[in-house]
Amino acid sequence: MNRETVTAHSKDLGKNMSIRVYGESGWPIVAFPIQDAMSDCYEQFGMIDAMRDYIEGGKVQLFVLDSVDAEGWSDRGGDNVLRVKVIEAFYNYVCEEVVPFVRERSGSDLRPITMGCSLGATHALVAFLRRPDLFQGVIALSGAYDAQFFFGDWMNTTLYFNSPVHFLPNTPHDHPYIDLYNRREIVLCCGQGAWEEEGLRTEHIVDDAFRALGVNAWCDYWGTDVDHDWPWWQKQIQYFLPHVLDEAERYNAEEAAEAAKSAPAKPLTAKKPAGTKATRKTRAKAATTKKEAAPKAKPVAAKKAAPAAKPATKAEPKPAAKPAAAPKAAAKKAETKPAAEVAEKKARARRTTH
């Protein structure tokens, strides 16, 4: 398996950041580490082995990031405004520096999929929800989606947009991102075992918000034996990844077909003799003089037409405006589902909702 660590200075974060790249081809995946961890954590805790067949088979190319959680989410005793600035700078780093790097490195214009476990799932979902124009989907495993779990009752506008349980339920039903969400693949999963309480509570809130908005997301809840730990995340990625890749390919093909169908026809341009207006007058005068001097003028060679103008490239649309800040949404108590439903969900070939 090809593996390489690329370290570069981030202008958004003002420090060197590393990205560990696994594989050489396939659908690009931007992977966020667990809380306070770095780009080697997927390899250290067995997730690379769990995804080995997809990486070595050229189905996915994985880009695992460093985190700056110690200065943001985890720094509970620090100044809240400074903490949020770090969190937002990391989000900007992902969108403005990581995504262009992934495109260049993969040699593809495919939109990356985001993925993460625990706090990495929080990063993955926030990045996807705020920029579905950049990302093709998300796989978020055991995430905690309420920023106040880390900040208490404190909130400002920037933190609001990093807290899915707050901004997602307040998203307008006519927001242009709703259509994009339904053209992407969204998977959230949480167990009902040890250390999954906050993930379970907040996934239910996000699940309800998706339903209210008419977004066809797959929010799955595994059994009471499923803990907040790597062995279960490895099983979950093996279960969900084939489905997400299939759907990403399908949506991408549909978009390509729509783009080809709606592409404007190449405009036709009138043929003009080569040269400027002044040179054409000079040539005409010379031809007239020559015709008077000789009894038979030689036929004038046909002049080449100027090449047809190419249609102007359509500017890439700007991302839609973010939903306006609204009062905090009340947290809904999680309603766990019986473990018996898990077997039924695993038998489904396509996305289901609960």
Residue 36 covered by a domain: yes
Q: And the tokens for 169?
A: 């339920």
What pLDDT, on the 0 to 100 scale, is given for residue 15? 97
What pLDDT, on the 0 to 100 scale, is given for residue 259? 87
What pLDDT, on the 0 to 100 scale, is given for residue 337? 42
pLDDT band at 269 (very low <50, low <70, confident <90, very high): low
Residue 273 covered by a domain: no
Phi, psi of 9 (to 5 degrees): -80, 130
pTM of the model: 0.76
Residue 169 covered by a domain: yes
Sheet holding 15-22, edge to edge: 3-10, 15-22, 60-65, 27-32, 113-117, 137-141, 185-190, 218-221
Residue 62 covered by a domain: yes
What pLDDT, on the 0 to 100 scale, is given for residue 340? 44
pLDDT in tens, 136-173: 999 999 999 999 999 999 999 999 999 999 999 999 99
Residue 291 covered by a domain: no
Residue 306 covered by a domain: no
Q: What is the DSSP string of 259-308?
A: HHHHPPPPPP-----SS-HHHHHHHHHHHHHHHHHSSSPPPPPPPPPPPP
Closest CA to 351 of 138, 172, 163, 202: 138
Q: What is the CATH number of the domain that holds 192?
A: 3.40.50.1820
Residue 121 covered by a domain: yes
What pLDDT, on the 0 to 100 scale, is given for residue 262? 82
26: containing domain: 3-256+318-346
Domains in the chain: how many in total?
1
Tell me the mean pLDDT in the region 99-126.
Answer: 97
Residue 181 covered by a domain: yes
What pLDDT, on the 0 to 100 scale, is given for residue 277? 46
Is the pLDDT higher at 350 or at 111?
111
